[in-house]
């Protein structure tokens, strides 16, 4: 028989049918490819029972286990260029991140730019300012009303109380206003009650500490202490007033006569008035008041000399001329 021409046939593997050898190899290659793809995607194929017709594949050595996440082989190509170098122990430290951008400057009219801690503090400060202005306005109105009532004079305790209430509100709203303080003290003094007179003296002394040369305050202190019945302190205040160059000499001499007659120490009062006359202040009024004290002390000759000096110095329309006429008649009205 003549031999066949063509490709030589591959001898069959022992124990394997010759017709399915190539098909088995193809299926095995396809299965391995699918398994590799599923492992790369994170899904493993379900275990397959070995085919009874297929021979058992020879065992392959197991791949070494690497700790850490499983990487897609294709992702190696997509990794940054410096990633592999950064994983090395001897790799240099990465550069620090860039600093944050500088904040933009605030407008000049914002609370933070003005130095205020926050918007709430600015609002509270504005509220306090508005409230202070409103209180000052109310205090000014109360002061004007109180001064008007004080000038009219209180005829009843209700009117006196209304005057005091207005002036107290004025002083509460403007505690540094000396004029309001003195007006309130005048209202207390006019009320005539012991408690209000004592309060008036305290206010006069506080105001006099700020205005030591205010003769009106000195006169009010003399009157206040005299109304309290403290004639000794009233005379002391009168002597202090007479020693001040800023005093109204004529008015001071007349007040000294009143306080001296209440106190009873004619020598002290006469000496204080005589010093006023000697200083050249007070004119005929001081001379007339000195004559009154000298007559009360029984010093008639000195009193007549003071009367003559007063008549020469007093103007014709002076109310003291009536006092001098009475003294000439033998009285001291």
Fold agreement (118-211, 218-333) = yes
User: What pLDDT score does 24 carry?
Assistant: 62
User: What pLDDT score does 317 carry?
Assistant: 87
- What is d(CA 10, CA 2) in angstroms, rounded to the nearest whole number? 20
User: What pLDDT score does 133 carry?
Assistant: 81
CATH of 118-211, one of 1.20.120, 1.25.40, 2.60.40, 1.10.3470: 1.25.40
Q: What does the domain layout of the chain look like in residue ranges?
A: 118-211, 218-333
- How many CA within 13 A on the CB side of residue 129? 6
Question: Looking up tokens 């120490």, which residue turns up?
Answer: 265
Nearest to 73 by CA among 47, 123, 37, 46: 37
CATH for the stretch 218-333 = 1.25.40
* Helix axes of 249-263 and 215-227: crossing angle, nearest 10 degrees: 10
User: What pLDDT score does 124 carry?
Assistant: 78
User: What pLDDT score does 276 carry?
Assistant: 92
pLDDT per residue as tens digits for the range 153-190: 888 888 889 999 999 999 998 899 999 999 999 999 99
Task: Spell out, as residue ranges, where the chain has pLDDT lower than 50.
Answer: 1-3, 6-8, 10-19, 52, 54, 63, 66-68, 70, 72-77, 79, 82-83, 332-333
User: What pLDDT score does 332 carry?
Assistant: 47
> Does residue 281 sit in helix, strand or coil?
coil
User: What pLDDT score does 94 carry?
Assistant: 76
């Amino acid at each position: 028989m003549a031999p066949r021409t063509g490709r030589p046939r591959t001898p069959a593997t022992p124990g394997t049918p010759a017709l399915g050898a190539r098909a088995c190899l193809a299926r095995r290659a396809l299965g391995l490819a699918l398994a590799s793809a599923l492992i790369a995607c994170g899904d493993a194929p379900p275990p397959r029972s070995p085919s009874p017709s297929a021979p058992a594949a020879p065992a392959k050595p197991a791949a070494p286990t690497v700790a850490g996440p499983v990487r897609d082989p294709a992702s190696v190509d997509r990794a940054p260029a410096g990633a592999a170098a950064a994983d090395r122990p001897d790799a240099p430290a990465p550069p620090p991140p860039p600093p944050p951008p500088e904040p933009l400057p605030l407008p000049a009219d914002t609370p933070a730019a003005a130095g205020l801690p926050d918007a709430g503090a600015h609002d509270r400060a504005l509220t306090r300012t508005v409230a202070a202005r409103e209180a000052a306005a109310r205090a000014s109105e109360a002061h004007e009303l109180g001064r008007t009532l004080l000038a009219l004079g209180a005829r009843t305790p209700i009117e006196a109380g209304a005057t005091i209430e207005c002036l107290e509100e004025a002083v509460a709203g403007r505690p540094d206003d000396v004029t309001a303080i003195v007006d309130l003290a005048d209202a207390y003094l006019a009320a005539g009650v012991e408690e209000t007179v004592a309060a008036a003296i305290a206010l006069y002394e506080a105001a006099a500490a700020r205005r030591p040369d205010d003769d009106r305050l000195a006169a009010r202190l003399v009157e206040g202490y005299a109304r309290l019945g403290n004639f000794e302190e009233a005379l002391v205040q009168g002597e202090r007033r007479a020693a001040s160059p800023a005093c109204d000499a004529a008015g001071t001499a007349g007040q000294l006569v009143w306080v001296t007659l209440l106190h009873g120490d004619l020598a002290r009062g006469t000496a204080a008035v005589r010093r006023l006359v000697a200083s050249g202040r007070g004119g005929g009024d001081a001379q007339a008041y000195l004559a009154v004290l000298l007559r009360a002390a029984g010093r008639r000759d000195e009193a007549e000399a003071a009367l003559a000096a007063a008549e020469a110095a007093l103007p014709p329309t002076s109310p003291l001329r009536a006092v001098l006429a009475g003294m000439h008649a033998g009285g001291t009205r």
